[in-house]
Amino acid sequence: MIKRKVSMKQAKDALKLIRRSPYQALAAALAMSLTFFVSSIFILLIIGGQIVLNYIEQRPQVIAFFKDDTNESRILEISKEVESSGLTKEVKYVSKEEALAIYKERNKDEPLLLESVTADFLPASIDISVNRAQDIDEITKLVKDKPEVERIITPENLIEQLVKWTRTIRIGGIAFVSTLTGVSFLIIIMVVGMRIALRRDEISIMSLVGATRWYIARPFFIEGALYGLIGASIAVFLTFSLLLFYSPNIQEFLGPIQIFPVPPLFFLYLWLGEVAAAIVIGVLGAAIALYRYLKIR
Amino acid sequence: MIQFESVTKKYPSGHLALDNISLKIESGEFVFIVGSSGAGKSTLLKLITREISPTTGRILINSEDIFKIPKSKIPILRRRIGTVFQDFKLLLTRTVFENVAMPLEVLSKNSSEIEKAVSGTLEKVGMLDKANNFPLQLAGGEIQRTSIARAIIAKPEVLLADEPTGDLDPKNSQGVVELLEKINKEDKTTVIMATHNAQIVNHFKKRVVTLESGKIVNDQKEGKYETG
């Protein structure tokens, strides 16, 4: 009885190709893993940066203190003017009495500081939250010009720095990940190219017995896609594990800004997105290798 | 029917392999193409499978110019032709069964069809008991029988054999050509065999086309190969 050894499934052929030279396969999968691990880290940094930025943006970013002789109706007039700029999320009037209440609340544990402080000592103010951190400058300018305004407090430097950092991480991330993607791409081309060379005899026989170009090429495409799938999966698993391990430290560093727990769906989407991108890279790499090296007469 | 019409093949190196040859081979014929090395025998066979293209002239199979077939349809042309090589071209990492099954795998046949066809073909060439052996475990004659089995498994209209006895001893050579003759008679497959083995040619008394420096110098039914 003849053993049935005919494997029709070309996926099996692709796995066979991988098994025949595991070191090349390992190199290709690891290059993919590295690329997508670094991509994951940059994605997390960008998202984390955005969360921090959003948190800070939600706090009042511009506080304008008024001179003592400014009456309430004038302050409300200025508030409305600021609101009508369309750049603000919220403009809140804080009267002298409210300012005193806040002062008392903040210093409730230090009675010495509360002694002899009355509402007259504290200035009325408006707390302004802007829609976008970039608009702080414009709002500051708008309030500064008012003769009734005595002093303005803005955390503009912090926001500016954060915006700058987020932008740098984004640009740096794109540049770094693009370079790594290029390297992965070249490794896939090289590995698939070597496989084509190793199978030259088989390819020529297949062609002579009537195999179509697509039939011959298919296992190489599957191989490229497999490198993508394996590489991206390792990368996401590694990212997930690291984030899980370091989450207490990260949360401690961020203080009141809550980013944990990261929803599991986020990792599912990250995995799906990265696997899709990695498969595209693997298949495109294989396609270029096939175009370059697969010579069928 | 295979027809060569004023075919010339000049390689880029300048070597003139075929010089304005015209030849007609009827369906079901058994033809020996003979001549010394470099006479153009292999070139003639490679033109039929469209591995190379002629410099001038036409090659027709059943009145269809095979060089007018679009590139994407070449696999379909090749499925109609089986080829046996002097160096066998078997895959050493595959068993006899797997090597023979290859043309059917390419046609995406299912496992049971493949198993049935491979068993039948291996029985026909006398290799059924060696189905699970690898080529390196076989003798020369057995390797060539395996190669013939692979060439005929998809039931081609034409079987091309390029020096199939080149690496075999006289006894095995005779056995291989007897097998080709059997395929020709039983399946009505057109067999075109290129060889310079005069003993074999003269023994089988088939049509003999003699090539010399790319020209047909003799074409005889039940001919002989005079090596002079």
pTM over 0.80: no
- pLDDT < 50: residue spans in chain A: 1-8
The tens digit of pLDDT for each residue in B200-215 reads 999 999 999 999 999 9
Distance between B24 CA and the closest CA of chain A, angstroms: 23
At A1 the pLDDT is: 44
Rounded CA gap, A209 and B151, in Å?
Answer: 8
Q: A239 CB contacts (<8 Å, ≥6 apart)?
A: A37, A40, A41, A44, A270
Rounded CA gap, A84 and B60, in Å?
Answer: 85
Taking CA atoms, A260 is separated from A137, A254, B36, in Å, by: 32, 10, 82
- Given this structure, which CATH class describes domain A60-154? alpha beta
The tens digit of pLDDT for each residue in B65-82 reads 999 999 889 999 999 999
A260 neighbors A240 (Cβ within 8 angstroms): no
Rounded CA gap, A28 and B51, in Å?
Answer: 34
The CB density around residue B200, as the number of other CB atoms within 10 Å, is 22
| Residue to test with chain B: of A1, A4, A6, most B Cβ within 10 A | A6
At B23 the pLDDT is: 95
At A37 the pLDDT is: 94
The mean pLDDT value for B144-171 works out to: 92
Rounded CA gap, A202 and A205, in Å?
Answer: 5
Tell the burial category of A246 from Cβ atoms under 10 Å away from its Cβ (0-12, 13-18, 19+). Answer: exposed
> What SS3 class is residue B161?
strand
pLDDT at B57 over 90: yes
pLDDT at B17 over 80: yes
The CB density around residue B120, as the number of other CB atoms within 10 Å, is 12
Contact between B101 and A297 using a beta-carbon 8 Å cutoff = no
- A210 in B contact zone (CB under 8 Å): yes
Rounded CA gap, B121 and B117, in Å?
Answer: 6
The mean pLDDT value for B163-174 works out to: 88
Task: For residue A5, list chain B residues with Cβ-Cβ distance below 8 A.
Answer: 95, 97-98, 132
In order, the DSSP letters of B52-101 are S--SEEEEEETTEEGGGS-GGGHHHHHHTEEEEETT----TTS-HHHHHH
Task: For residue B89, list chain A residues with Cβ-Cβ distance below 8 A.
Answer: 201, 204-205, 208
pLDDT at B19 over 60: yes
Contact between B95 and A208 using a beta-carbon 8 Å cutoff = no
- The Cα angle at residue A277 between residues A273 and A283, in degrees rounded to 5: 145
At A4 the pLDDT is: 43
At A5 the pLDDT is: 41
Lowest mean pLDDT among B117-121, B142-146, B164-168: B164-168
SS (H, E, C) A65-121: EECCCCCHHHHHHHHHHHHCCCCEEEEEEECHHHHHHHHHHHCCCCHHHHCCCCHHH
What average pLDDT is seen over chain B? 92
Torsion sign over Cα A9, A10, A11, A12: positive
What number is the ipTM of this complex?
Answer: 0.83
End-to-end, the C-alpha distance of chain A in Å comes to 37
Q: Where are the domains of chain B?
A: 90-155
B192 neighbors B158 (Cβ within 8 angstroms): yes
At A157 the pLDDT is: 64
The tens digit of pLDDT for each residue in B87-133 reads 888 999 899 999 999 999 988 888 899 999 999 999 999 999 999 99
- What region does B90 belong to: left with phi over 0, alpha with psi -120 to 50, or beta? beta
Of A5, A205, A209, the CB nearest to B95: A5
DSSP bridge pairs for B25: B2
Q: Where are the domains of chain A?
A: 10-55+160-293, 60-154
